[in-house]
Structure 1
Amino acid sequence: MRILLLLLPIALTGCSVARAVITAPIKAGEAIYDAATESQEEADIKRGRAARKAEEKAARDARKAEKARDAEGRPYRVGGPR
């Protein structure tokens, strides 16, 4: 009986290794599925980020256009004032 109690921890260690080996393909499949799909929240975050970038670019372009005026307030032409 004592021998069985001494061997029990060794036997249980093998079970955890076997469980890890058996569940590894399932975990790999879950990781691939998560990488391949996009949740609604992730899609919303992406759209929000793209909208903010577009607004920032529009604001930069507006500031750039405002600075590109001559002394009388007329906008410069593409080649500059002539």
Structure 2
Amino acid sequence: MKSPRLLPVMAVCLLPLVSACIASTAANVVTAPVRVTSKAVDLATTSQSEADEKRGRRMREYEEDLGKLERRYDKHMRQCDDGSDSACLKARNDYADIQQLRASAPY
């Protein structure tokens, strides 16, 4: 059985450990709102580099789509020149698609 005199000595020895835990917890509680707010601001705002990346991605996708339509239009025009009436209609539709896409250019 432990001596009643040993209990205060143990309490004094454990006091620095307990106070460190309390101080650490208090610091976390105090700084938590700041950390949460700064994280929310980071998520809500877009940096210039992120905006540039998105704009570049949209431009590349636009140019890819335009290239596909132009190649398809050229193919149908060749077929139209060879006498295919259905290819002429497809070429007209392709041309309309190209004009519509150009009107919505990201730059």
Shorter-chain TM-score bucket reads 0.7 to 0.9
Identity of matched residues, %: 33
TM-score, reference length from structure 2: 0.61
Query: Alignment length, in residue pairs?
Result: 80
Larger Rg belongs to:
2
CA 1:20–1:76: 2 relative to 1, 3 Å = same
**Pair 1:72 & 2:74 matched:** no
TM-score, reference length from structure 1: 0.77
The structure with higher relative contact order (CA 8 Å, sep 6+) is: 2
Q: What does residue 62 of structure 1 align with?
A: 70
Q: What does residue 41 of structure 1 align with?
A: 49
In angstroms, what is the RMSD of aligned CA positions? Answer: 2.6
Q: Secondary structure at the match of 2:89?
A: coil
Shift of 1:42: 0.9
Q: What does residue 102 of structure 2 align with?
A: none
